[in-house]
């Protein structure tokens, strides 16, 4: 490879690895005993999860009254968390499916963990509508099954029902996509594990995979099909989430840009979460040769692009409110920026639009501490975005006598903490039981060079 | 039960495998299969595999999903138990579209994955038949059947030798093993 | 290559004839209804301008994403980008000529709000249009000239420089394109507003751009033509795939806009769709969806049709017609609503004129600008990668 190509096409794997090295490097963290750091992380995450379980149990026992909702603000913390977590998941699908279709080979370093993140994030998201039902054990009423009440069918015209279908499809397809991607790696793990329980499990899950070219041929086709299906799926999921709001006649909720704007925002927040996790994982799991600085650089560029799209959408909303001449729209946006919740609006705007602009500078994109800080800021900002959209649109409605404020209760905060606990507990466990990087895919893009010594065939050196 | 004489040739690099396979195909040697640790770009072309029919399975499943969902939504809310929601017409196609789309994706995705598992005979608990234990790590293997008097091991070895074959062996396999 | 670019003398005469006949046909309908005739000119100028801008954006997306596959035929979208200079001047002329056809100008129907009155005041409106077009032209000319300089200089430095320039261009044009769509098209119905309108127009613009590149690429890949052996089936496959993707994206945005407005049923919002729903306009709506999504989606879905020049060319042609129809569907009902006095036009004559004008003028311009540079960016470091890749 010439000097010129090196500059525009930096190697995706550093350190001149052989194929065997790649397997060893990626499989190593799974075989080693967990580090102290892992245990500390797991301890914190699990404690948070326990706190969440306690809070949710209390809430289910006592009722939705334990939340800070009131007559005016009927949706707040709970739905904010729901939209936040669904959004986090979207970057996983973007990286695994959209970038696959665009042949962005660098995705192979992060797609496995990003897909895992998608599944865990969607699980976290799913909790919130469930507990908001008040009687979560009756969740099956959302499914269209023949029943003795008529049969009274579910309301297919309701965006909330679209959500049921969208989120469950998303969870199922993401899980299948993830598992299909894992099969070859599970086979690799099977073949390098000593006989025993672990090996039996890998063997069971790897479905008898033997790397046949014919199987790979069909496998590649299915992988491409799943990517082709997951790409519009990821659009549809956040589109439908946005329609939970946009099909209402409430100023601040009803605006036609919501579908693409929510999708961009979701990917933006998800990329921030991917970066947060990757920067930790590459350090603690010694994967610096696979998740390189140039990988981080590319993800930063993508995050910056998404941030700019989100910023453009914010500005478009304000512009159209001014342009429309609609007094209610104008009041809403003035109130959003300058009203009682202006602190939330300012947090959102600076975290999502202003601060990420530092990513225009290459020096910042390649400074991992700076990137980590920006990713955390974007995570916070995107949570606030949903809070701002939901709460500021509701708290001062058409009837000034019912205007109110919203303060979350400790139960709601504990539930949010619990969802983070669930997410990180799952993620830390995942790092222990499955290869955190897609080995078979990294090998395909690593451009492992043939050592000069092997250029001449040496059959006598064959491993008998 | 009759048996087949198979030749297993291993390589350490994907270029070697591809070149070897091309050499074999030029010499009209019948290739049973090849085994690789990852999806080698261009291997399907080198082996002359036909495009996978799974795209059609996916298309048919997805169309079934969308048509069924649209019909069911219409039937349940306009025929079986008509409900007036917000004054929307009985025939509310626009609001039926989102679920129609989700069902297309769900059925298309699951349909093609199950078709893959069926077509390639992959199932939980299946015992893997490995060409060599290192094939899921860093070895590339091509399997050749000795169909006639010309395809002797010596002949094949001579063909593959310039392409860096690192391991070469003959094995007897049962007829029904679908390598 | 002669001054005509990739067209031969007789072909150039044919396209000149098309443009002249088109202009004459539009002019003929002026006495019947000047509003209707001008509406068709507006469609033509927006069509031409967005083809140029789309070409520039395609080049810029390539640089920003570090793509290699599109390098071999990059001179095609570059040539499209350069037409922006001429098309921009034409657009300013058309906008200035027919400003009185906008309802807010004709009837002072800009509402009583200070912001709207300020925003839709004729002078400010026209100055903005000049500003957008000047910005687009200057930045895309800069990108193209850097790309052409690389033909002499070589090296990676200019590729990296153009990456930065492209990022700037995309950021600037994202904002200005949004405003231009609001100004030129959405403001035709001054009391209606939709925040997604610009994104929806962006999808349509990219769809038409991709279709144009497919047609030019196919025309130039024949033996003896400038892109013979350069524009490969792999390029065609990728462009067709992108066309399929953008068709779906267009449908997604069209549907999102429609569904949210249909669902909430707010009178000032449905006012846009009601006149486009019934009668002949209902058929136009259906045709619009058919040409822009249904046909490209189902035809281009199988792999062989994306790799077949014949099929891809036909779909590209349908999409280009669909893009024209999409603009027609936005512009003409709005003008008729604003000017019910403008009389019943002879439907078909001005429309045919507008289409011929776009076809003739754009082909001549793009051929000329294509002839001004090497047909292939021969010193681009990624050219090799682009010439020899397989899907």
| Beta strands across the sheet bearing B3-11 | B31-35, B140-145, B3-11, B165-174
Position A104 pLDDT exceeds 90: no
**Residues of chain B numbered 25-54 and touching chain A (CB < 8 Å):** 33-41, 43-44, 47, 49, 51-52, 54
- Residue A6 belongs to a domain: no
Tens of pLDDT, residue by residue over A25-45, are 888 777 778 888 889 999 999
What is the domain extent for residue A181? Answer: 30-447
Note the pLDDT tens digit of each residue in A293-327.
Answer: 888 998 899 999 999 999 999 999 999 998 888 88
- Give the model's pLDDT for residue A195: 87
Is the pLDDT at A461 greater than 50? The verdict is: no
Which of C263, C301, C302 has the CB atom closest to B95's CB atom? C263
Q: How many domains does chain A have?
A: 1
State whether C259 and B59 contact (CB < 8 Å).
no
Cβ contacts of C178 on chain A, cutoff 8 Å:
312, 316
Contact (CB<8Å) A151/B81: yes
Least confident of C1-15, C108-122, C347-361: C108-122
Are B94 and B148 members of one domain? no
Q: Is C303's CB within 8 Å of B97's CB? A: no
* Domain identity same for B100 and B78: yes
Determine whether C168 is exposed, middle or buried from the number of CB atoms within 10 Å of its CB (0-12, 13-18, 19+). middle
Average pLDDT over residues B75-94: 87
Q: Chain A closest CA to B133's CA: distance in Å? A: 7
- pLDDT at position A254 over 90: yes
Q: Using alpha carbons, select from C250, C256, C243, C241 the residue that is nearest to residue C325.
A: C250
Give yes or no for B94 touching C (CB within 8 A).
yes
B126 within a domain of the structure (yes/no): no
Residues 221-260 of chain C whose Cβ lies under 8 A from any Cβ of chain B: 255, 258-259
CA Rg value for chain B: 25
CB A409 within 8 A of CB A66: yes
Report in angstroms the alpha-carbon separations of A437 from A99, A115, A119, A228, C37.
16, 11, 16, 22, 61
pLDDT interval class at A420 (50, 70, 90): very high
Query: What pLDDT was estimated at residue A1?
Result: 38
As a whole number of angstroms, the distance between CA C364 and CA B51 comes to 41
Q: What is the CATH number of the domain that holds A356?
A: 1.20.1630.10
Local confidence band at A462 (pLDDT 50, 70, 90 cut-offs):
very low
Question: Whose CA is closest to C287, among C221, C353, C351?
Answer: C351
If phi > 0 it is left, if psi is from -120 to 50 it is alpha, else beta; for residue C348 that is: left
Which residue of chain A comes nearest to B17, CA vs CA? A213
Q: What is the dihedral of CA B40, C381, C243, A216, to 10 degrees?
A: 0
- B62 with B109, same domain: the answer is yes
- Which residue from A minimizes the CA distance to C194? A256
Taking the Cβ of residue B153 and every Cβ of chain A, the question of whether any pair is shorter than 8 Å is answered with no
Highest mean pLDDT among A68-72, B22-26, C200-204: C200-204
Which chain B residues are closer than 8 Å to C306 by Cβ?
Answer: none
Q: What is the mean pLDDT of chain A?
A: 88
* Reported confidence tier of residue C57, pLDDT bands at 50, 70, 90: very high
Report percent pLDDT > 90 for chain C.
65
Q: Which of C258, C262, C303 sits opposite B51 (nearest CB)?
A: C303
Q: Which residue has the higher pLDDT, C144 or B13?
A: C144
CB A317 within 8 A of CB A406: no
Answer whether B3 touches C (CB < 8 Å): no
Which DSSP state fits A457? -
User: Between chains, do C156 and A4 touch, taking CB under 8 Å as contact?
Assistant: yes
Higher pLDDT, A373 or B1: A373
Nearest-angstrom CA–CA distance, C101 and C342: 10
Q: What angle do CA A372, A373, A379 make, to 5 degrees?
A: 90
pLDDT bucket at C95, cuts 50 / 70 / 90: very high
**DSSP designation for B75:** I
User: Which of A285 and A85 is assigned the larger pLDDT?
Assistant: A85
CA distance, residue A215 to nearest chain B CA (Å): 6
Q: Which chains touch A (3 or more CB pairs under 8 A)?
A: B, C
Q: What pTM value is reported for the model?
A: 0.93
Residues 6+ apart with CB under 8 A from C213: C55, C58, C73, C76, C77, C80, C239
**B125 chain-A contacts, CB cut-off 8 A:** 203-204, 208
Residues B156 and B107 both lie in one domain: no
Handedness of CA A110, A115, A118, A123 (dihedral sign): negative
* A214 CB within 8 Å of a chain B CB: yes
Q: Are residues B60 and B111 in the same domain?
A: yes
- Under an 8 A CB cutoff, do A249 and C264 touch? yes
B162 in contact with chain A, both atoms CB, cutoff 8 A: yes
C11 exposed, middle or buried (CB, 10 Å; 0-12, 13-18, 19+)?
A: middle
How buried is residue A158: exposed, middle or buried, by Cβ count under 10 Å (0-12/13-18/19+)?
middle
Q: What is the mean pLDDT of residues C101-124?
A: 77
Across the interface, whether the CB atoms of B105 and A233 are under 8 A apart is answered yes
Beta bridge partners, B172, equal B5
Distance set, CA A13 to CA A3, A278, A451, B15, B138 (Å): 17, 15, 16, 19, 16
CB of A138 less than 8 A from some CB of B: no
In a domain, A69, yes or no: yes
- What is the Cα Rg of chain C in Å? 21
Three-state SS at A439 = helix
Peptide bond into C141 cis (omega under 30): no
Q: What are the contacts of C158-162 at 24+ separation with CB within 8 A?
A: C159/A8, C159/C63, C159/C380, C159/C381, C159/C382, C160/A7, C160/A8, C162/C63
Q: With a CB-CB cutoff of 8 Å, which residues 231-270 of chain A face chain B? A: 232-233, 236, 239-240, 243
Regarding whether B114 and B58 lie in a shared domain, the answer is yes
Contacts of C289 (CB under 8 A, 6+ apart): C251, C254
Share of chain C above pLDDT 70, in %: 96
- CA separation (Å) from B1 to A357, B4, B143, B177? 72, 10, 21, 12
* Option in A248, A312, A317 nearest C175 (CB): A312
3-state helix, strand, coil in chain A (%, to 5): 75, 0, 25
pLDDT of B178 over the 70 cut:
no
What pLDDT shows up at residue A458? 38
Burial C224-256 (b: 16+ CB within 10 A, else e): eebbeebbbebbbbbbbbbbbbbbbbbbbbbbb
B and C: number of Cβ contacts within 8 A: 18
Task: Give the pLDDT confidence of A319-366 residue by residue, as tens digits.
Answer: 999 888 888 999 999 999 999 999 999 999 999 999 999 999 999 999
Q: How far apart are CA A114 and CA A94, in angstroms?
A: 9
H or E segment to which residue C27 belongs: helix C9-28
Per-residue pLDDT averaged across C130-144, rounded?
A: 95
Nearest to A220 by CA among B9, C248, B24, B45: B45
Q: Does residue A455 register a pLDDT over 60?
A: no
Q: Among all chains, which residue has been given the structure tokens 């790590």? A: B137
Whole-number mean pLDDT of chain C? Answer: 90
C264 interfacial to chain B (CB closer than 8 Å): no
> Could you tell me if residue B124 is inside a domain?
no
- Contact assignment for A260 to C119 by CB distance below 8 Å: no
Is C262 a residue whose pLDDT tops 80? yes
Contact B94 C390 (CB under 8 A): no
- Identify the residue among C260, C269, C300 best suited for mutation to test binding to A, counting A beta carbons within 10 A and taking the highest: C260
> Is any Cβ of chain B less than 8 angstroms from the Cβ of A207?
yes
Which pLDDT score is estimated for A460?
38
Q: Of all residues in chain A, what percent carry a pLDDT higher than 90?
A: 58
| pLDDT range class, residue B1, cuts 50, 70, 90 | very low
> Which residues contact residue C369 at a Cβ distance below 8 angstroms, ignoring those fewer than 6 apart?
C5, C79, C80, C82, C83
- Closest partner residue to B97 among C255, C265, C303, by Cβ? C255
Q: How many domains does chain B have?
A: 2
- What stretches of C92-173 adopt beta strand conformation (E)? none
Q: Domain limits at B111? A: 54-119
| CB distance C221 to C230 below 8 Å | yes
**Taking CB atoms and an 8 Å cut-off, how many pairs form between chains A and B?**
237
Residues of C in contact with A360 (CB under 8 A): 167
B124: closest chain A residue by CA: A207
Residue B10 · residue B165 · CB < 8 Å: yes
Query: pLDDT (tens digit, 9 = 90+) per residue, B139-172?
Result: 888 888 877 777 777 888 888 888 878 888 888 7
**CA Rg value for chain A:** 24
The full DSSP string for C53-107 is HHHHHHHHHHHHTT--TTSTTTHHHHHHHHTHHHHHHHHHHHHHHTGGGSHHHHS
For the cut 60, the answer to whether the pLDDT of residue B179 exceeds it is no
H/E segment holding residue C302: none
Task: Inform me whether the pLDDT recorded for C60 exceeds 70.
Answer: yes
Give the whole-angstrom CA distance, residue A286 versus residue A273. 19
| Chain A residues bordering chain C (beta-carbon distance below 8 Å) | 4-5, 7-9, 101-104, 232, 235, 239, 243, 246-249, 254-260, 301, 308-309, 312-313, 315-317, 319-320, 322-326, 360
How distant, in Å, are the alpha carbons of A335, B4, B16, B17, C74 from that of B24?
Answer: 75, 19, 12, 10, 39
Q: How far apart are CA A323 and CA C110, in angstroms?
A: 10
Does residue C243 have a pLDDT over 90?
Answer: yes
Q: Is A162 helix (H, G, I), strand (E, B) or coil?
A: helix
Query: How much is the pLDDT for B81?
Result: 87
Note the ipTM here: 0.91
pLDDT for residue A162: 94
Does A3 touch chain B if contact means CB atoms closer than 8 Å? no
Residue of higher predicted confidence among B6 and B173: B6
Summarised one tens digit per residue, pLDDT across range C14-36 is 999 999 999 999 998 888 888 88
**Reported confidence tier of residue C219, pLDDT bands at 50, 70, 90:** very high
pLDDT in tens, A113-137: 888 999 999 999 999 999 999 899 9
Residue written as tokens 């065609």? Answer: C236
In a domain, A151, yes or no: yes
Instruction: Using a CB–CB cutoff of 8 Å, tell me whether B178 touches chain A.
Output: no
Q: Which residues of B touch C259 (CB under 8 A)?
A: 94-95, 97
Beta-bridge partner residues of B3: B174
All structural domains of chain C with their residue ranges: 9-103+116-374
Whole-number mean pLDDT of chain B? 85
Q: Which residues of C touch B87 (CB under 8 A)?
A: 265
Nearest Cα to A106, choosing from A12, A208, A4? A12
B144: three-class secondary structure by DSSP: strand
> Are B25 and B47 within one domain?
yes
User: Which of the four pLDDT bands, split at 50, 70 and 90, describes residue B40?
Assistant: confident
With CA atoms as reference, report the closest residue to A372 among A459, A454, A280, A302: A280
Residue C326 near residue C286 (C-beta atoms within 8 A)? no
């Amino acid at each position: 490879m010439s000097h010129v190509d090196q500059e525009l096409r930096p190697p995706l794997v550093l350190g001149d690895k052989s194929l065997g090295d790649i397997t060893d490097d990626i499989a190593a963290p799974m075989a080693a005993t967990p580090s102290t750091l892992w245990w500390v992380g797991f301890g914190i995450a699990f404690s948070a999860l326990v706190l969440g379980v306690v809070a949710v149990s209390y809430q289910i026992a006592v009722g939705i009254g334990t939340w800070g909702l009131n007559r005016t603000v009927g949706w707040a913390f709970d739905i904010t968390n729901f939209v936040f977590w669904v959004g986090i998941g979207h970057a996983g699908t973007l990286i695994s499916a959209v970038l696959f279709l665009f042949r962005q080979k660098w995705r192979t370093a992060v797609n496995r963990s990003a897909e895992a993140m998608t599944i865990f994030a969607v699980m976290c998201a799913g909790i919130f509508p469930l507990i908001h039902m008040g009687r979560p054990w009756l969740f099956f009423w959302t499914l269209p099954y023949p029943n003795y009440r008529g049969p009274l069918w579910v309301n297919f015209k309701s965006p909330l029902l679209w959500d049921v279908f969208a989120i469950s499809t998303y969870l199922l397809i993401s899980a299948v996509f993830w598992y299909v991607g894992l099969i070859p790696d599970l086979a690799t793990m099977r073949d390098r594990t000593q006989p025993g329980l672990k090996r039996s499990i890998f063997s069971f899950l790897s479905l008898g995979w033997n790397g046949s070219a014919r199987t790979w041929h069909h496998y590649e086709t299915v992988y491409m099909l799943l990517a082709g299906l997951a790409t519009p799926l990821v659009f549809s999921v956040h589109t439908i989430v946005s329609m939970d709001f946009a099909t209402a006649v409430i100023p601040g909720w009803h605006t036609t840009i919501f579908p693409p704007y929510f999708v961009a925002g979701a990917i933006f927040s998800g990329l921030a979460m991917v970066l947060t996790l990757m920067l930790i994982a590459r350090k603690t799991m010694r994967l610096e040769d696979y998740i390189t600085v140039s990988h981080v650089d590319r993800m930063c560029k993508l995050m910056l692009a998404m941030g700019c799209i989100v910023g453009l959408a914010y500005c478009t909303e304000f512009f159209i409110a001014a342009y429309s001449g609609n007094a209610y729209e104008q009041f809403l946006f003035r109130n959003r920026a300058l009203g009682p919740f202006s602190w939330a609006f300012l947090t959102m705007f600076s975290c999502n639009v202003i601060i990420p602009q530092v990513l225009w500078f290459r020096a910042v994109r390649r400074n991992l501490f700076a990137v980590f800080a920006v990713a955390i800021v974007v995570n916070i900002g995107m949570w606030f975005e949903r809070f701002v959209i939901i709460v500021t649109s509701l708290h001062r409605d058409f009837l000034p006598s019912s205007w109110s404020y919203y303060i979350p209760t400790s139960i709601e905060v504990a539930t949010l903490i619990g969802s983070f606990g669930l997410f990180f507990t799952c993620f830390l466990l995942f790092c222990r039981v499955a290869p955190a990087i897609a080995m078979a895919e990294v090998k395909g893009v690593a451009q492992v060079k043939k050592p000069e010594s092997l250029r001449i065939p040496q059959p006598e050196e064959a491993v008998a | 039960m009759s048996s087949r004489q198979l030749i297993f040739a291993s390589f350490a690099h994907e270029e070697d495998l591809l070149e070897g396979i091309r050499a074999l195909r030029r010499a009209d040697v019948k290739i049973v299969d090849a085994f690789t640790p990852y999806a080698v770009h261009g291997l399907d072309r080198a082996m002359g595999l036909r495009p996978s029919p799974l795209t059609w399975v996916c298309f048919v499943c997805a169309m079934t999903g969308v048509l069924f969902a649209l019909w069911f939504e219409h039937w349940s809310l306009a025929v079986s138990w008509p409900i007036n929601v917000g004054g929307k017409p009985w025939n509310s196609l626009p609001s039926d579209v989102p679920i129609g789309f989700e069902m297309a994706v769900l059925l298309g995705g699951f349909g093609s994955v199950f078709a893959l598992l069926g077509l390639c005979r992959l199932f939980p608990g299946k015992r893997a038949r490995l060409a060599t234990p290192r094939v899921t790590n860093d070895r590339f293997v091509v399997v050749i059947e000795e169909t006639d008097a010309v395809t002797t091991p010596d002949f094949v070895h001579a063909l593959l030798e310039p392409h860096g074959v690192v391991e070469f062996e003959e094995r007897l396999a049962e007829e029904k093993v679908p390598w | 290559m002669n001054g005509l670019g990739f067209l031969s003398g007789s072909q150039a005469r044919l396209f000149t004839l098309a443009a002249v006949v088109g202009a004459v046909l539009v002019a003929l309908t002026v006495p019947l209804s000047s509003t209707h005739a001008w509406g068709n000119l507006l469609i033509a100028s927006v069509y031409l301008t967005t083809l140029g801008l789309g070409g520039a954006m395609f080049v810029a997306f390539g640089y920003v994403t570090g793509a290699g596959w599109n390098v071999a035929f990059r001179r095609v979208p570059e040539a499209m980008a350069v037409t922006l200079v001429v098309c921009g001047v034409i657009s300013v002329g058309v906008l200035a000529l027919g400003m009185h056809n906008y309802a807010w100008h004709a009837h002072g129907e800009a509402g009583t709000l200070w912001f709207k009155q300020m925003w839709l005041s004729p002078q400010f409106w026209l100055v903005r249009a000049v500003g957008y077009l000047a910005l687009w032209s200057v930045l895309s000319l800069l990108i193209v000239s850097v790309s052409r300089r690389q033909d002499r200089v070589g090296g990676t430095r200019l590729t990296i420089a153009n990456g930065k320039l492209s990022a700037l261009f995309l950021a600037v044009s994202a904002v200005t394109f949004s405003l231009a769509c609001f100004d030129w098209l959405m403001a035709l119905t001054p009391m209606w507003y939709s925040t997604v309108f610009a994104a929806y127009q962006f999808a349509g613009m990219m769809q038409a751009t991709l279709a144009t590149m497919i047609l030019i690429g196919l025309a130039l890949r024949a033996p003896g033509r400038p892109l013979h052996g350069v524009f490969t089936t792999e390029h065609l496959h990728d462009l067709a795939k992108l066309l399929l993707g953008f068709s779906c994206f267009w449908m997604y945005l069209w549907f999102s806009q429609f569904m949210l407005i249909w669902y909430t049923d707010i009178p000032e919002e449905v006012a846009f769709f009601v006149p486009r729903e019934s009668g002949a306009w209902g058929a136009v709506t259906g045709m619009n969806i058919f040409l822009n999504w249904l046909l490209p989606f189902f035809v281009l879905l199988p792999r062989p049709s994306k790799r077949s020049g014949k099929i891809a060319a036909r779909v590209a042609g349908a999409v280009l017609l669909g893009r024209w129809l999409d603009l027609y569907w936005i512009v003409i009902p709005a003008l008729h609503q604003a000017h019910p006095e403008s009389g019943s036009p002879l439907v078909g004559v001005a429309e045919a004129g507008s289409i011929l004008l776009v076809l003739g003028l754009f082909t001549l311009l793009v051929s000329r600008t294509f002839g001004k540079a090497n047909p292939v960016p021969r010193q681009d470091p990624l050219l090799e990668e682009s010439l020899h890749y397989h899907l």
